[in-house]
Amino acid sequence: MSSSRYPIASPMTGEVLIAADVGGTHARIASIVPATEGGKAAFAIGDYCKYACADYPSLGAIIGAFRSSHANSPSSSVALAIAGFVVDDAVVNRNLPWSVSISGLRHDLGLRELAVVNDFKAVAYAVGHIGNDESTLLCGPAQRQAGPLLVVGPGTGLGGAVHIPHGDHPVILATELGQATLAATSEAEFAVLAELRKRHPRVLIEQVLSGTGLVNLDVAVRALRGAPAISRSAAQISAAARDGSDPIAVETVEIFCAWFGALLGDLAMMYGAQGGIYIAGGVLPQMRDLLVRSRFVERFLDKGEMHEALTRIPVRLVDHAQLGVIGAASWYFDRSFESHRAAGAEAPTRSAR
């Protein structure tokens, strides 16, 4: 069990909660147990497991495997942070290996409650619990500033959310920024877009700036350089760039990091992210040193007269394996607290009528 404690507004009651963070490649699941922090209500991570989504026929099978493996974590309540967005009863995401029906999942697992939140909305809840010593400062001041905070994560796809401080209960706005159209600035980026548009008339941001996107970018750069086509994963591309064994992998990662910096500069201005930017997801921690040496910061700041304003925004890389489950649990308890508070506030009004 993790020794960390994460404050919540009111004590946990009843059984242990299961928190799950599900992306296109991995599902991370944990039991959430009561704790205290400074004499106040909190929770801690109990059992924790990481699963490869492709190894299981459904999300229900993964959660079922966790419940079966950890007899001390029986629970009929699940807080599910999942990549994509909910339309009626279905989770919509092109990167998930199986379809997800919310009512079907609840029924198959015999759950009393299944609370579903966008995965990066959950991560945005979690960053409030992350100290500076748990992240790498890429640029900007060391201390977090007041104001909205942006969380962006290139994983299998690209997720993002905005964290707006509001007392003890922040306002979190989920986004689907990975589904927006990607813009180019440099000659290399225009050439890559032209190559990708041979197969995709509209190139999405996550089709280049994600784990899947790094693979697409590698294919495009190889075609532009007249190199033979090969099939390799994002991890293999990152490894080849780190050891310098493949000039095309090095170029691919350099383009990726610079382009990502340019995107974050745009997003910082769009969302007024004076509070800072946290980069999560599974891709960039694999290439931390390459990111630091790249043109990432240069392109982030390259916004004309906005350069000075952007130098005041801290940009941090977070490598915290449990961010998603911490965020799912934080969101769940914040949601429960607000529901109970609203019900309590409405009761006198109803009785007075």
**Closest by alpha carbon to 96, among 26, 19, 200, 153?**
26
Positive or negative, the CA dihedral 84, 135, 317, 275 is positive
pLDDT band at 1 (very low <50, low <70, confident <90, very high): very low
6-125+322-348 and 135-318 have identical folds: no
pLDDT confidence of residue 81: 93
Looking at 3.40.50.450, 3.40.50.1820, 3.40.367.20, 1.25.40.10, the CATH number of the domain 135-318 comes to: 3.40.367.20
What is the predicted pLDDT for the residue at 14?
A: 66
Percent of the chain scoring above 70 in pLDDT:
92
Q: With bands split at pLDDT 50, 70 and 90, how would you rate the model's confidence at 35?
A: confident
Mean of pLDDT values over 261-279: 96
Q: Which residues contact 151 (CB under 8 A, 6 or more apart)?
A: 120, 123, 124, 127, 160, 161, 162, 163, 277, 278, 280
Q: Which residue has the higher pLDDT, 353 or 160?
A: 160
pLDDT(9) > 60:
yes
For residues 103-126, one letter each, b for 16 or more C-beta atoms within 10 angstroms of the residue's C-beta and e for the rest, the string is eebbeebebeebbbbbbbbbbbbb
Is the predicted pLDDT of residue 156 greater than 90, yes or no? no
Question: What pLDDT is stored for residue 343 in this prediction?
Answer: 52
pLDDT category at 289 given cuts 50, 70, 90 is: very high
Find out whether 200 and 212 touch, Cβ atoms under 8 Å.
Answer: no
pLDDT higher than threshold 80 for residue 293: yes
| Number of helices followed by number of strands (H, E) in the chain | 11, 14
Output the furthest CA–CA distance in the chain (Å, rounded).
77
Q: Indicate if the pLDDT at residue 67 is higher than 60.
A: yes
% the chain with pLDDT above 90: 63
Residue 341 has pLDDT above 70, yes or no: no
Residue pLDDT, tens place only, 93-145? 878 889 999 999 999 999 999 999 988 889 988 887 887 888 899 999 998 78
* pLDDT value of residue 247: 96
In contact, 278 and 150? CB cutoff 8 Å: yes
pLDDT for 221-255, tens place per residue? Answer: 999 999 999 999 999 999 999 999 899 999 999 99
Q: Which residue has the higher pLDDT, 167 or 6?
A: 6
Residue 146, pLDDT score: 86
The pLDDT of residue 338 is: 61
pLDDT in tens, 175-217: 889 999 999 999 999 999 999 999 889 999 999 999 999 999 9
pLDDT per position as a tens digit, 294-331: 999 999 999 999 999 999 999 999 987 788 999 999 99
More confident residue, 187 or 36: 187
Helix (H) or strand (E) run with residue 44 in it: strand 40-52
Domain boundaries 6-125+322-348, corresponding CATH code: 3.30.420.40
pLDDT score, position 88 = 86
| Contact predicate 299/259, CB 8 Å | yes
Task: Give mean pLDDT, residues 75-81.
Answer: 91
Q: pTM for the whole thing?
A: 0.84
Mean pLDDT (the chain) is: 88
* Domain residue limits, the chain: 6-125+322-348, 135-318
Instruction: Find, among 240, 177, 190, the residue nearest to 220 by Cα.
Output: 190
Could you write out the three-class secondary structure of 95-148? CCCCCCEHHHHHHHHCCCEEEEEEHHHHHHHHHHHCCHHHEEEEECCCCCCCCC
Is 157 in contact with 206 (CB distance < 8 Å)? yes
Question: For residue 138, which of 260, 314, 287, 321 has the smallest C-alpha distance?
Answer: 314
